[in-house]
Amino acid sequence: MLKTLIPVACLLAACWARMSAAADLHFAEKLGGVNHDLRIANMKADARGVPSFDYTYRQQGQGCAFTLAGRAVAGYDDAGGKVELEVYNPLGSDGKEMPSILAFHDGEANFTVARKEMLAPKWITFDLDGASRAKHCDRKADRVEVMFKHAVR
């Protein structure tokens, strides 16, 4: 397993290093009368190869506006001085393995991104975590999770 993870981590680090030259990303979705807007910028990998990005999430509904900004970092393990990125292979409803994903966190929000589409992701999920969950526009929802399906061009 370790033999598989190290090459994958190297590939991901190379992709994220190239991503720093990529344009900022903007996603938007409207769900239940609430507009959700996600902007991602400054995508890069640190010297160890751990990818990260800055984000700004905005939620706006009737009489409500909520904004959250931060820096999300990919999940990783430090194994004896070598960084191993946490790459997940979720199973679909049919039980078959789906494309690999990376999870990013900052304590307030969680993101998942398809590993093969990191330079131009077709989708990204956003999950509000922690105390910020109580401040969002849809107070009836137990959790805030948005699947941003298309980048705005």
Distance between CA atoms of 21 and 119, rounded to whole angstroms?
10
Q: What is the dihedral of CA 12, 130, 37, 31, to 10 degrees?
A: 110
- The structure tokens listed for 110 are 């969680």
Q: How many other C-beta atoms lie within 10 A of the C-beta of residue 72?
A: 21
pLDDT in tens, the chain (153 residues): 444 444 444 444 454 444 444 578 899 999 888 889 999 999 888 888 888 999 999 988 888 888 999 999 999 998 888 888 888 888 878 888 877 888 899 888 899 887 765 555 677 888 887 666 666 676 666 677 888 887 776
| In the chain, domain spans | 2-148
CA 21 to chain centre: 18
pTM score, whole prediction: 0.75
Instruction: Give the whole-angstrom CA distance, residue 34 versus residue 18.
Output: 34
What phi and psi, each to the nearest 5 degrees, are found at residue 112? -130, 140
